[in-house]
């Protein structure tokens, strides 16, 4: 159910096309959700059927018409209700940790390379979130009520990447001691 709500959350601010939503999940809000465009198009059709979003078709030439999706009052009521509903903590699932768990099956250097590569990937993500931070939340003391929430959410993404990087360093250091 949460993909629906994640989409509604992005529509609170402003209408989006499916294409735009896919880009946002892939980028600036990647620290809390992700989905492919196929999933999003399917979900948007369902949301429209439920009356939670409204669609405005903007004709274009040479490429498919844009379909601007806005949240309806009903959609906003549903989203608000969901936000106020207690939920569980998200279960973890991570390929790299499964690999680490049985890391002794492969040469040490193979694991170290993969760890180093992941550390770089997390550093890239962190750098990107830092850019988002500077662009949208430059003066933390002067944020609107809404942006305060968004900034704190982004903080989770920043911390998460920092923590991954630190763990990679911890493991690499443990390996180098030998």
Partner DNA sequence: TAGTACATGTAACAGGTTACATGATTGA
Partner DNA sequence: TCAATCATGTAACCTGTTACATGTACTA
Chain contacts with a second copy (rule: CB under 8 A): 2, 5-6, 9, 12, 29-34, 76, 79-80, 82-84, 86-106, 110, 114, 117-118, 121-122, 125, 145-146, 148-150, 152-153, 155-157, 159-160, 163-164, 166-167, 170-171, 174
CB 162, CB 126: distance < 8 Å? yes
CB 71, CB 11: distance < 8 Å? yes
| Local structure of 64: helix, strand or coil | coil
76-115 footprint of DNA as x/- string (CB under 7 A): ---------------x-x----------------------
20 makes contact with DNA (CB under 7 A): yes
Partner whose binding site includes residue 36, from DNA, a second copy, none (CB under 5 to 8 Å by kind): DNA
In the complex, the smallest distance separating the C-beta of residue 94 from a second copy, rounded to whole angstroms, is 5
Partner whose binding site includes residue 100, from a second copy, DNA, none (CB under 5 to 8 Å by kind): a second copy
The span of 15-23, 78-86, 114-122, 153-161 binding DNA (CB under 7 A) equals 15-23
Return the number of other C-beta atoms located less than 10 Å from residue 166's C-beta: 12
d(CA 115, CA 112): 5
CB 43, CB 21: distance < 8 Å? no
38 makes contact with DNA (CB under 7 A): yes
Q: Secondary structure of 18-47 in the HEC alphabet?
A: HHHHHHHHHCCCCCCCCCCHHHHHHHHHHH
Read out DSSP for 99-154?
HHHTGGGS-HHHHHHHHHHHHHHHHHHHHHHHHHHHHH-S-GGG--HHHHHHHHHH
> Of the two residues 130 and 159, which places its CB atom closer to a second copy in the complex?
159
Size of the site for DNA (CB under 7 A): 27
- Positions touching DNA (CB under 7 A) are 1-4, 17-20, 23, 35-39, 41-42, 44, 60-67, 91, 93
């Amino acid at each position: 159910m949460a993909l629906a709500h994640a989409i509604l959350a992005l529509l609170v601010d402003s209408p989006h096309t499916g294409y735009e939503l896919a880009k946002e999940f892939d980028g600036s809000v990647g620290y809390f959700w992700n989905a492919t465009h196929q999933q999003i198009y399917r979900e948007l059709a369902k949301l429209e059927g439920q009356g939670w979003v409204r669609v405005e078709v903007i004709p274009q030439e040479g490429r498919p018409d844009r379909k601007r999706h806005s949240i309806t009052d009903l959609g906003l009521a549903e989203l608000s209700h969901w936000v106020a509903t207690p939920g569980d903590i998200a279960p973890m699932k991570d390929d790299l940790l499964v690999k680490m768990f049985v890391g002794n099956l492969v040469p040490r250097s193979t694991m170290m390379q993969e760890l180093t590569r992941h550390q770089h990937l997390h550093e890239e993500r962190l750098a990107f979130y830092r850019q988002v931070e500077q662009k949208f939340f430059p003066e933390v003391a002067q944020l609107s009520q809404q942006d305060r929430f968004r900034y704190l959410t982004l903080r989770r993404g920043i911390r998460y990447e920092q923590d991954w990087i630190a763990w990679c360093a911890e493991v690499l250091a443990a390996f180098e001691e030998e």
